[in-house]
Amino acid sequence: MPETAEPGSQGGLRVYLRWREAPFALVLPAGTSCEILLETRPAPIPGAPDWVRGLINRQGSVVPVLTLPNAWSDAEVDDQEQLLVIVQGRQQLALQTMAQPDFAPVSSWRGAEPESSIPAELSGESPIWHRLDAEQVSLGLEWDPLVWASRRRA
């Protein structure tokens, strides 16, 4: 059964894209469409970072092309690899990938979620986040770690 969005969110079905070799998945909101383009070479952007492969013209729209991180592979991404164009409304983005992702409803990976690529210390379950001074954070005041530590000892 497809996953429905949380109350107050954009509503509708959500799907995720998962690459078998990758330790992560991308979750897409409802109303997002995807298209695989083969043998499309992006026009390079001088001075752009390595992960920005360039631009393509897709149906009269200029679409930026980003390289999906290859943290799980030492292989270089070739300009000839396939592009996954993600479209939501008027917004478009292309990801250059070495393999075609699998598409599935979010509910299909409940209980078998991929391991997080976020270090445990930075996850929402980390004691670090639970020890933050909520009052200081909510007021947006300057936070002094020495004052915070002295109040915690008292």
The residue written with tokens 């799980």 in the block is: 72
Tell me the average confidence (pLDDT) per consecutive run of 10 residues in the chain, 154 residues long.
Answer: 39 59 65 81 87 88 79 53 82 80 64 52 53 47 53 56
pLDDT score recorded for residue 140: 45
19: left (phi over 0), alpha (psi -120 to 50) or beta: beta
pLDDT score recorded for residue 50: 80
* Encoded tokens for 79: 């300009």
All domains of the chain in start order, with CATH:
15-107 (2.40.50.180), 118-153 (no CATH)
Of 3, 17, 148, nearest to 82 by C-alpha is: 17
Q: Where are the beta strands (DSSP E) in the chain?
A: 15-18, 25-28, 32-37, 52-58, 61-67, 82-88, 91-97, 102-105
Alpha-helix residue ranges (DSSP H) falling in 7-111: none
pTM of the entire predicted model: 0.53
